[in-house]
Amino acid sequence: MSSPLDSATPSPKPGPSFEELGVPKALCGVLSRQGIATPFPIQTATLPDSLRGKDVLGRGRTGSGKTLAFVLPLLARLSQSKKERAPRAPRALILAPTRELALQIQATLDPLATALSLRTVAIFGGVNQNPQVAKLRQGVDIVVACPGRLEDLLQQRALVLDAIEVTVLDEADHMADLGFLPPVKRLMEMTPRNGQRMLFSATLDNGVEVLVKRFLNNPITHSVDSEQSPVSTMDHHVLHIKTEDRLPIIVDLTSAPGQTMIFTRTKSRAKQLTKQLNAAGVPAVEMHGNLSQPARVKNLAAFSEGRAVAMVATDIAARGIHVDDVTLVIHADPPTEHKAYLHRSGRTARAGNEGAVATLVTESERREVAAMTRKAGIKPKVTATTVNHEILKELAPGTRMLRTREEIEILLPPVVAATSTRVGGIGPNHGRRRTSTSSTSSKPNANASRGRGTGGARRSGSKPAATKSGSSQSRRPSGSNR
């Protein structure tokens, strides 16, 4: 008689490994030490072609693993090339729309490049150019750059692009959104036509298709999870609230275990809400265009390391910010259009992990938000919510914890918690207990400070700095930062 196991459905065959896809053993070793064992779909799809030197067009949402999809073949190609490193003449170029993304690409790139004895440099504005120029003068193999600063250095003859063998355009649609297409075209024209070119984008609108037709030679297209594709591991909620309940609800959600990104429409709102959260006992940092580059780096580090449990940001952080353990995204101010909603929401539920999104909506905003979610292809759960509603426990389970002012000052020194130096934008031109703390902002509802719910890892704001951003493709359930 046959066993019940005889008729069981066989387990699906695991996909190919990085080594089976053709990635050099030295790079596979680095990935293995970082806990990266299995390629994600975008990597499995593109690597065979990109490793053979083909021009590749990869379409996929942020968080789908695109960074390793282009970094691995770029490094493999350079290591196999017979050309040698020379001063001021890099051999590969990666163009990124924002400083934060450029830094995170470099963080992923560096340990892999080191394994092959290749040198890298990140080039972006908002900081002194001299260290960047010095590295170029010494000779680098790979430049990760934002278009504005790169053009500046080219005009100063700090480098040339004549020796570029591989060019990558990352988040090309975001390049277009920021108005970078003209400088991108000028930069691409300076690279050798016979070099390999890879373009990664969530969509092909806003002129991205023009870049594909003009600069890619018979590209092989791979589409994996377009930006409009539903994310099965992301829960969408619309919370109908009263204006006076907005802050208490945000305090309640952010004082639960996990890390939260909160989006506002304006820089002043981001700054104000950050101050309000810190005054209420939630360690929070801000991220917006009025911050200096050092302040951005320090604030991102505080959030990545868990010293800050909330980051309040404008749409500058909707793309290119990769941080593990973001379990909740809150739209404190609903975005004005569906693409911004999708990009903001994409900070959680990355690389197949779970996450939740909550949009806070007052009565006057209901019609606009309903239309936006329809256009985004999202069917959210709509709940009329107060500060005591059970939906808050569902969105952010676990015991609430609020910090004292003294604890927050230790976790977030003033240079991190209160930074407001204006350095231009990012456009083409470049708890244990609640304590009473003084604040010019309105006080959150007292209910927000109660310990409610059980379970979940304690959100102390001082977890070990084991969580890194932009440096690995972890298989941990907490998230991925690729």
Per-domain residue ranges of the chain? 18-223, 234-449
Question: What local confidence, expressed as pLDDT, does residue 178 receive?
Answer: 80
φ and ψ at residue 366, rounded to 5 degrees: -60, -50
Residue 166's closest CA among 109, 108, 72, 93? 93
What pLDDT shows up at residue 345? 86
Helix, strand, coil distribution of the chain in percent, nearest 5: 40, 15, 45
Q: Which residue has the higher pLDDT, 204 or 425?
A: 204
Domains 18-223 and 234-449 alike in fold: yes
- Are the CB atoms for 233 and 435 separated by under 8 Å? no
- Which tens digit of pLDDT belongs to each residue from 305-341? 889 999 999 987 776 666 767 889 999 999 988 888 8
29 conformational bin, left if phi > 0, alpha if psi -120 to 50, beta if neither: alpha
Q: How confident is the model at residue 132, as a pLDDT?
A: 97
pLDDT at 377: 87
For the chain, the average pLDDT equals 81
Q: Which long-range contacts (CB under 8 A, 24 or more apart) does 70-73 make?
A: 70/46, 70/94, 70/168, 70/170, 70/198, 70/200, 71/105, 71/108, 71/109, 71/112, 72/18, 72/23, 72/27, 72/43, 72/47, 72/112, 73/46, 73/47, 73/166, 73/198
Residue 164 CA neighbour count, 13 Å, CB half: 26
pLDDT digits (tens, 9 = 90+) for 200-242: 987 777 688 889 999 999 999 998 754 444 444 678 999 999 9
Map tokens 């278009």 to a residue. Answer: 147
DSSP 38: S
Looking at the chain, the whole-number percentage of residues with pLDDT higher than 70 is: 78
pLDDT of residue 342: 84
Q: Distance (Å, rounded) from C-alpha 458 to C-alpha 424? A: 38
CB 452 within 8 A of CB 439: no
Class of the domain covering 18-223: alpha beta
**d(Cα 82, Cα 193) in Å, to the nearest integer?**
19
Q: What is the DSSP letter of 443?
A: P
Mean pLDDT of 53-81: 89
Stretch among 1-5, 63-67, 400-404, 449-453 having the lowest mean pLDDT: 449-453
Q: Residue 433: what pLDDT? A: 32
Distance of CA 335 to the CA centre of its chain: 18
- Residue 407 — φ and ψ, nearest 5°? -65, -40
Residue 410's SS3 state is: helix
199 beta partners: 57, 169
Q: How much is the pLDDT for 63?
A: 62
- Beta-bridged to residue 328, according to DSSP, are 260, 356
Q: What gap in Å lies between CA 325 and CA 342, rounded to an integer? A: 18
**Residue burial 300-316, b: 16+ Cβ < 10 Å; e: rest:** bbbbbbbbbbbbbbbbb
176-190, 317-331, 373-387: least confident range:
317-331
User: Do 69 and 171 touch, CB atoms closer than 8 A?
Assistant: no
What integer is the mean pLDDT of 133-161?
A: 97
Tokens of 301: 């580090």
> Rounded to the nearest 10 degrees, what angle do helices 41-51 and 66-80 cross at?
20
214-229 burial code (b ≥16 CB/10 A, e <16): ebbeebbbbebbebee
Question: How far is the C-alpha of 188 from the C-alpha of 181, rounded, in Å?
Answer: 10
pTM of the model: 0.64
Cα-based torsion angle of the residue sequence 41, 45, 47, 49 in order, rounded to the nearest 10 degrees:
-170
* pLDDT tops 80 at residue 439: no
Quick one: angle between helices 293-304 and 99-115, nearest 10? 70
The neighbour count for residue 130, using CB atoms within 10 Å, is: 8
Helices and strands (DSSP H and E) totals, the chain: 18, 14
Identify which of 321, 94, 465 has the alpha carbon closest to the alpha carbon of residue 312.
321
C-alpha dist (Å) from residue 155 to 86, 151, 161, 222, 481? 19, 6, 12, 36, 34
pLDDT of residue 267 exceeding 60, the answer is yes
pLDDT the model gives residue 312: 96
**Mean pLDDT, rounded, for 251-279:** 95
Sheet of 142-145, strand order: 120-123, 142-145, 92-95, 166-170, 196-201, 56-59, 220-223
Stretch (H or E) spanning 114: helix 99-115
Question: Can you tell me the mean pLDDT for 431-436?
Answer: 34
| Residue type for position 418 | A
CATH topology of domain 234-449: Rossmann fold (3.40.50)
Higher pLDDT, 131 or 66: 131
**Mean pLDDT throughout 59-79?**
87
Angstrom distance (rounded) from CA 180 to CA 173: 10
Q: What is the pLDDT of residue 62?
A: 63
Nearest-CA neighbor of 44 among 24, 17, 67, 25?
17
